[in-house]
Amino acid sequence: MEIAIIGSGYVGLVTGVCLAHIGHTVTCVDNNPEKVRKLKAGEVPIYEPGLEPLMHKYSKMKRLNFSSSIEAATKKATVIFIAVGTPSKKNGDADLTYIENVARAIARNMDSYKLLVEKSTVPVQTGNRIERTVALNLPAKFRRGNKCLVEFDVASNPEFLREGSAVEDFMNPDRIVIGVKSRRAEQLLREVYAPLKARLVVTNVATAEMIKHASNSFLATKISFINSVAQICDRVGADVLSVAEGMGYDRRIGRAFLNAGIGYGGSCFPKDVDAFVRLAEKSGYDFKLLKGVRDVNEQQKASFIHLIEDKLWIIKDKTIAIWGLAFKADTDDMRRAASIDIIQALQEEGARVQAFDPKAMDNARHELKGVKFCADAYAAAKGADCLLVLTEWEEFKRLDLKRVRGLLRQAVVFDGRNFFDDKLFVDLGFEYHGIGRGRGAHAS
Ligand code: NAD
Ligand code: UGA
């Protein structure tokens, strides 16, 4: 099938590459000329495990093409996925400017039936908005009064992939949700995904949009729940890791997303929780539970900073080593990473920060000023008064901790991800602080 993807970022590019992998011919469009130039030259603009070899393979076979022209891509394809950004506005609403721009551009270039598919995460009812925008922007020859003389459909097909395992998630989804209004749209999307042999959930458009709101918000709720439990664990001498394990064996609960830490970050949970709270508000419902989820997430960072202040005493002029900046492991993405808030708070108190991240340092340079970016984890530790682990990069587990011990001025570790076995540090004479481990700052 001829498919176009508008927006070639973390989701659009992975979707395009994976759809080529399962046999379609795909054009990935982006309006950032530098991005398109890189993609055409075979450069992958993001770090995503497994993406590069597939991208090269299908580009060479011409099953995957890159373009900056929505016009050409619209004319060629029947199915057009919209995967542009939907960032937060100041008031928490999703900013749908890019979605509207794309809907207009597609409409102006439509000359035969098209299926527009929302891949971006959008508030419920956006499907109706896109439909109206397309109708209003069709070329004059295709409009008579309120009537459209060219057929089109708008469908919702929310994406559930995670950064860091995006290719794997796309190729092996737990489910594929398609929200459609017509048999034709359903049939086309069934054809697109047929090679994946995945479970399909077919609904109307609003329900599919709602599934995405609810899924991300539920996952964020699990994280804030376990973070709250961790707070109490620290106060009463219980260990949140064992609590999560003990809860997780219950199949109704599950162990996933019960990792306590410095709070969720990234380009999705913070923005999508905000958007769902706002949507609920506009529909006349006060979503108190989700507001609580958001508050707990903010508190979690504040409490981590408080723990550091408590143990380091004076922050001014102390040198703080950071391992990991990305919002999670296996990505270079710094969008709304918890590390940003934590580092900025410590800098405001006068700390000097020296950091290392295996993949996110280029992006981090845009977000963080006054940080010394180091060549490796050892260089970051050199002469520091404490070490913060802010991202759970597997390679940190292979470091020589004895050497790290010798490099630090004070052997104090704050493991914001409960990533390390605390014993490893303690046996080497470090003071180790995890999150909710019951032996931390507040335990007595
Ligand atoms: P992104 O910023 O990485 O990518 C968006 C791309 O769209 C950018 O490259 C931008 O240049 C391009 N773009 C903007 N306007 C355009 C236009 N008019 N024409 C062509 N291209 C245009 O964002 P992302 O992380 O890929 O997220 C995209 C959407 O997918 C968001 O709604 C997000 O919530 C959702 N989503 C993201 C993830 C994730 O893990 N990142 C997962 C599921 C869903
Ligand atoms: C998340 C969802 O998991 C995807 O299903 C969804 O498609 C995506 O958002 C989206 O809509 O964009 P992503 O943000 O890439 O994916 O990464 P996650 O693995 O979900 O992690 C999000 C944040 O939560 C990270 O900061 C991570 O460190 C944190 N987290 C995750 C925890 O603190 N504890 C956990 O147990 C799990």
pLDDT digits (tens, 9 = 90+) for 8-43: 999 999 999 999 999 999 999 999 999 999 999 999
Record the tokens describing residue 318, joined without a space. 């102390």
Can 268 be counted among the known catalytic residues? yes
C-alpha to C-alpha distance for 386 and 313, rounded to whole angstroms: 12
Which residue among 5, 6, 11 is best mutated to probe the pocket of ligand 1, counting the most ligand atoms within 8 A of its Cβ? Answer: 11
Which atom of ligand 2 is found nearest the CA of 328?
A: 28
Q: Whose CA is nearest to atom 8 of ligand 2?
A: 162
pLDDT less than 70: residues of the chain: 439-444
The answer to whether 2-203 and 210-444 have equal CATH topology is yes
> What pLDDT is stored for residue 146 in this prediction?
84
C-alpha to C-alpha distance for 58 and 54, rounded to whole angstroms: 6
Domain borders along the chain are: 2-203, 210-444
Which residue among 13, 15, 162, 167 is best mutated to probe the pocket of ligand 2, counting the most ligand atoms within 8 A of its Cβ? Answer: 162
Which is the catalytic residue, given 18, 28, 233, 268? 268
267 within ligand 1 shell (Cβ under 6 A): yes
C-alpha to C-alpha distance for 86 and 102, rounded to whole angstroms: 12
Q: Whose CA is nearest to atom 6 of ligand 2?
A: 160
Architecture in CATH of 210-444: 3-Layer(aba) Sandwich (3.40)
| CATH classification code of 2-203 | 3.40.50.720
Q: What is the pTM of this model?
A: 0.96
Record the tokens describing residue 187, joined without a space. 């049939």
> What pLDDT is stored for residue 377 in this prediction?
98
C-alpha to C-alpha distance for 300 and 345, rounded to whole angstroms: 13
C-alpha to C-alpha distance for 340 and 334, rounded to whole angstroms: 8
> What pLDDT is stored for residue 439 in this prediction?
61
Which residue, 7, 4, 228, 181, is CA-closest to 110?
4
Dihedral pair phi/psi, residue 333, rounded to 5°: -80, 125
> What pLDDT is stored for residue 441 in this prediction?
42
